[in-house]
Amino acid sequence: MPVREEKLYYGRQWINEEDKNAVLETLSSDFITCGPRVKEAEKAIAEYTGAKYAVAVANGTAALHCACIAAGIGAGDEVITTPLTFAASANCALYCGAKPVFADVDSDTYNIEPANIEKCITKKTRAVVAVDFTGQAVKINEIRKICDKYGLVFIEDAAHAIGTSYNGKQIGSLADMTCFSFHPVKTVTSGEGGAVTTNSEELYKKLILAHTHGITHDEELMEEDVHEGSWYYEQISLGYNYRMTDFQAALLLSQLKQLEFFKERRKEIVKQYDEALKNIPGIILQKEIPESDTCRHLYIIRLDSDRLACTRRQFFDAMSSENVQCQVHYIPVYWFPYYQKLGYQNGICPAAEKIYKGIMSIPLYPKMTDQDVDDVIHAVKKVAENYRKA
Ligand SMILES: *Cc1c(COP(=O)(O)O)cnc(C)c1O
């Protein structure tokens, strides 16, 4: 008998009536794109994160691409990132003609290790894309020091980390640029959506251009003297159409109102998991650094092969049979065929590869009931018990 009847998934959005009304209201307004809701959402993100500026974009991947463009990354440059991430954290360097370089993670926190970043630096290194994996902040102070020492741009991929703070400061206000995603599995959603925050006016201006064709209506930025009329605009760089719509922004604004509630509920569930799973033989939990007050996006359990007589696949499938659908975050990026064809070799980040082989993400989202949480705990205990080594 499975521990529950209905399948439980690892992540899911929570859309309420207020969210739906906000979208409908915007659809009936004059602007469904390039309107006031986008501006309001940008203001709300800047206020929440404590950053001076925020630019709303079409998705988290666009946020990373815009950040790389604003950082001036181009052909021949190198960008250091982690292999334990969604492919977009590395692809953004490739979009700019640069080469992603993978620095290995810490074996306990699974986050990129600053000492390993430093080892990867060459004359070509221009930026670091550090991912707050599962929502836990990276070692921001250490990475800041390295970036200052070598003149690198510090880009934080905080797709998992809205709501997290580091030494009491909100994520989004600390790196040179911080990128967020509002995909439905993330902590707040706009369907598809993303944002970049920064404290630098110079970077902000570049981000604005990057996400809207490199076209400006701002006379101060224009290069020609011919201002033929109020309709006049200029394309002054190569940009993209990476704009968020106003109905997405309306959804985002409404979701941001619930962020504190989402965060508290996530923390509650994490606490229950921590308490229940910390002493199960064969299950290793992710370690936290004290500087990070984490709004956890993913809850990862790691199998200890010395104590369990099963493969990760057997454990994963057994959880599935209990109707608890896990997921694996992430396959090391450079293992993908595309990266292999670019010449990346297996084995370059042994800690990340070892972690990958033993991990899975169990369900974590605010809409889970206490019963759902208990079911997951029950399933992990049952499967671990079944596979315990004699
Ligand atoms: C989700 C995610 C992205 C990409 O965000 P999208 O909005 O899906 O484009 C980038 N980096 C990480 C770490 C993510 O989890």
> What spacing in Å lies between the alpha carbon of 370 and ligand 1's midpoint?
28
Q: Which residue(s) pair with 299 in the sheet?
A: 362
pLDDT tens string 55-101: 999 999 999 999 999 999 999 999 999 999 999 999 999 999 999 99
pLDDT tens string 171-185: 999 999 999 999 999
Residue 61 and residue 88 in contact, taking contact as beta carbons nearer than 8 Å: yes
pLDDT band at 223 (very low <50, low <70, confident <90, very high): confident
Q: Report the SS3 class of residue 303.
A: strand
Same domain, 61 and 166: yes
pLDDT tens string 325-377: 999 999 999 999 999 999 999 999 999 999 999 999 999 999 999 999 999 99
pLDDT at 218 > cutoff 90: no
Same domain, 234 and 293: no
Q: Report the SS3 class of residue 299.
A: strand
- Count of C-beta atoms within a 10 Å radius of residue 249: 29
Question: Last residue of some domain: 200, 235, 256?
Answer: 256
Same domain, 76 and 223: yes
From 111, 146, 107, 141, select the one nearest 128 (Cα to Cα).
146
- How far apart CA 282 and CA 288 sit, in angstroms, is 19
Same domain, 273 and 365: yes
Same domain, 124 and 232: yes
- CA triple 162-251-325, angle to 5 deg: 60
Same domain, 131 and 25: yes
pLDDT at site 305? 94
Same domain, 247 and 272: no
Q: Is residue 249 part of a domain?
A: yes
Which of 86, 95, 244, 329 to mutate for ligand 1's pocket (most ligand atoms within 8 Å of CB)? 86
- Count of C-beta atoms within a 10 Å radius of residue 23: 20
For ligand 1, atom 2, name the residue with the nearest CA: 159
Q: Looking at the CA of residue 85, tell me the nearest atom of ligand 1.
A: 13
- How far apart CA 165 and CA 93 sit, in angstroms, is 26
Q: State the residue for tokens 């981000």.
A: 207
Domain that holds residue 379: 259-387
Q: Is residue 21 part of a domain?
A: yes
69 lines ligand 1 (CB under 6 A): no
Same domain, 267 and 125: no
pLDDT at 227 > cutoff 90: no
58 lines ligand 1 (CB under 6 A): no
- How far apart CA 379 and CA 172 sit, in angstroms, is 36
Q: Report the SS3 class of residue 118.
A: helix
Q: Is residue 114 part of a domain?
A: yes
Q: Is residue 7 part of a domain?
A: no
Q: Is residue 106 part of a domain?
A: yes
Q: Is residue 365 part of a domain?
A: yes
Which of 13, 57, 91, 157 to mutate for ligand 1's pocket (most ligand atoms within 8 Å of CB)? 157
81 lines ligand 1 (CB under 6 A): no
Which of 65, 89, 180, 211 to mutate for ligand 1's pocket (most ligand atoms within 8 Å of CB)? 89
Question: Last residue of some domain: 256, 281, 314?
Answer: 256
pLDDT band at 40 (very low <50, low <70, confident <90, very high): very high
Same domain, 90 and 176: yes
Same domain, 230 and 344: no
> What spacing in Å lies between the alpha carbon of 93 and ligand 1's midpoint?
14
> What spacing in Å lies between the alpha carbon of 159 and ligand 1's midpoint?
5
> What spacing in Å lies between the alpha carbon of 350 and ligand 1's midpoint?
24
312 lines ligand 1 (CB under 6 A): no
85 lines ligand 1 (CB under 6 A): yes
59 lines ligand 1 (CB under 6 A): yes
Same domain, 205 and 296: no
- How far apart CA 159 and CA 260 sit, in angstroms, is 17
Q: Report the SS3 class of residue 157.
A: strand
Question: Last residue of some domain: 237, 256, 275?
Answer: 256
From 382, 385, 388, select the one nearest 320 (Cα to Cα).
382
Q: What CATH number is associated with residue 373?
A: 3.90.1150.10
From 204, 187, 280, select the one nearest 42 (Cα to Cα).
204
Same domain, 222 and 368: no
Tell me the backbone φ, ψ of residue 342, rounded to 5 degrees. Answer: -75, -10
Q: Is residue 9 part of a domain?
A: no
Q: What CATH number is associated with residue 61?
A: 3.40.640.10
pLDDT at site 22? 98
Q: How many structural domains compose the chain?
A: 2
Q: Is residue 2 part of a domain?
A: no
CA-based radius of gyration for the chain: 22
